[in-house]
Amino acid sequence: MKPDARAEAARVVAAVFAGRALDDALSSMATLQDPRDRGFVRVLASAVLRDWRALDALITRMTQRPPAPPVRALLAVGLAQLRSLDTPEHAAVSATVNATRALGQPKSRGLVNAILRRYLRERKALDATLPRVWLPPWLADRIRQDWGTQADAVMAQSRVPGPMTLRIHRGRMTLDAAIKALESAGHTVRPIQGMPDALVLAQPVDLAGLPGFEDGWLSVQDASAQRAADLIAPRDGERILDACAAPGGKTAHLLERAAAQVTAIDCVAERLERVGDTLVRLGLQATTLAEDATTPKDWWDGQAFDAILIDAPCSGTGVIRRHPDIPWLRRPADIDRLVALQRKLLDRLWPLLRPGGRLVYATCSVLSAENALQVESWLADTPDARPRQLPNWGETVGPGQRIQPGGDFDGFYYSVIEKSD
């Protein structure tokens, strides 16, 4: 049977709601070889996830009994085309109905056809009853609590896909030279004010066709994530620990900035392989360790570090615009678990820093429990730690700066902490 992108998108959506990460589910698409088809599946699945509360409410209202998960996912794929994509109505309905066979659900053909056509007939009345906030209520409540009057903007911008941002390897190419090379290859790019290594592509592209990627003079990394190297400010010869290194973007950026001795740790060996692949592509070297950063007795050689980067495991709520599965995979209890892990990382790694050294704590979260409140609580219990005032490129909250998601930036939080001499 010929592969069907809509059926594949339904399988991906169903996998996400069974607990699988979107990127993981997309990577297992064995039936679609054409990059255009695979890209279309990503667009479809992402559109469903960004509108899931409304789609789920529509399906519940228009069906007498809950459809099987694959059928529910396919209905959502069909409705998403009608609600948020530019698919012509006739094509969206007919192609989605035809996808029932490729999905292995041919008996649902009539149901899918009836639901999609009913939505077109009754769209105005049905849409009037839909939830106004696209995020799960618990997460929306947390964002309102933490962001106040800015909460609506945070939630709205989290629904808008972020741009494709490049990081130029300054050891191999200047920013101006990179702009000329990319423009010569037909790409439209622009720099970001105050970001010395960043360029934004006007249109996302496949990395395989991006000049400079395989040659190691550029990488893909959001502008907010690039702030980490600015704050660590590595110097030649320094010993630096990247405590949660995978997939390796920040590790590489540090080495692009200075000839430092970087130790990159990640507790998952498979993820650490990605760090190694990144370093090889960029022609960089670091010590990589598949270890648990919270148990330094198992891997630390006793020599203090000049700087430590803790890009802490977190909820990822600052990068929802790139990973729309995050709201549906996270649960309230996850936040408490992650906060405990973040605190453990701070407690266990602080003794590894030399007097006068600096620690950068970072998360791609918009939740205060993982950010300002976390660092404030830890500082209160750590007498030899003092926060450093940061450049005013975000919003000062507690002992750090938070970056609101939107435009060129993902949602992030940074705090720089110095150790008393």
Token output for 365: 């979260």
Q: 249 labelled as ligand-binding?
A: yes
φ and ψ at 192, to 5 degrees?
-115, 125
Segments of 119-194 assigned E as strands? 164-168, 189-192
Q: Could you tell me which residues come within 8 angstroms of residue 414 by beta carbon, excluding any fewer than 6 positions away? A: 227, 228, 231, 360, 361, 362, 390, 394, 400, 401, 403
- To the query of whether residue 314 is one of the catalytic residues in this protein, the response is no
4 is known to lie in a ligand binding site: no
Residue 245 is assigned to a ligand binding site = yes
Q: For residue 176, give the H/E element and its range.
A: helix 175-184
CA distance 106 to 7: 12
Say which of 92, 364, 366, 417 is annotated catalytic.
364
Q: Is 266 annotated as a binding residue?
A: yes
Helix (H, G, I), strand (E, B) or coil at 356: strand
| Cα 26 from Cα 287, distance rounded (Å) | 31
The kind and range of the H/E element at 311 are strand 305-311
Asked whether residue 311 is marked as a ligand-binding residue, the answer is yes
Half-sphere exposure of 48 (CA within 13 A, CB side): 29
Instruction: Encode 330-345: b = buried (16+ Cβ within 10 Å), e = exposed.
Output: beeeebeebbebbbeb
Three-state secondary structure call for residue 215: coil
Q: Taking the CB of residue 109, how many other CB atoms lie within 10 A of it?
A: 15
146 is in an annotated binding site: no
Strand partners, 317: none
CB 76 within 8 A of CB 104: no
Give the residues across from 220 on adjacent strands: 166
**Distance in angstroms (rounded) separating the CA atoms of residues 404 and 318:** 8
Neighbours of 350 (CB within 10 A): 18
Residues 6+ positions from 64 with CB-CB distance below 8 Å: none
* Neighbouring residues of 331: CB distance < 8 A, sequence distance ≥ 6: none
Determine if residue 248 is labeled as part of a ligand binding site. Answer: yes
What token pair was written down for 404? 């609101």
Return binding residues.
Answer: 244-250, 266, 292, 311
Binding site residues for S-adenosyl-L-methionine, as ranges?
244-250, 266, 292, 311
Residue positions annotated with a catalytic role = 364
